[in-house]
Amino acid sequence: MASGAAKVIRGAVLGTGSLLEVRQVGFRPRTVQLINIDSADELYWTSTMVDGGGLKRLAAGAASVLTADGVTPLSDGFSLGADSDLNVDGETVHFEATE
């Protein structure tokens, strides 16, 4: 019998500055939270948002709703678009994905 507990996967990847696929999650996420640890910028995506979207909060205080270059769920993880604040070449992006 299933426990009813959501699967949660945490990890970190290096930004590429271009489309980045994170496939080590092992399931199609319903939520993804990302933090660029170098800049402290964040992105939050839920399955009720558009693919490629998310709510972005910058460390400087600004917030915006993305409709492109954000998170797109994949069957075994997610992709992060080429957002210039979060997916920066060589910067560390921590993530938490839930099923």
**Per-residue model confidence (pLDDT) at position 95:** 98
Is 53's pLDDT higher than 60? yes
Give the Cα separation of 95 and 36 in Å (integer): 9
Instruction: Please state, as a whole number, how many other Cβ atoms lie within 10 Å of the Cβ of residue 28.
Output: 14
Q: What is the pTM of this model?
A: 0.92
Question: Helices in the chain by DSSP H: which ranges?
Answer: none
**Per-residue model confidence (pLDDT) at position 6:** 84
pLDDT, one tens digit per residue, over 22-51 is 999 999 999 999 999 999 999 999 999 999
Is 8's pLDDT higher than 80? yes
DSSP-assigned states of every residue in 76-87? TEEEE---TTTS
**Per-residue model confidence (pLDDT) at position 57:** 98
DSSP-assigned states of every residue in 18-41? S-EEE-TT-S--SEEEEEETTTTE
| Residue type present at position 78 | F
**Per-residue model confidence (pLDDT) at position 4:** 73
Distance of CA 34 to the CA centre of its chain: 4
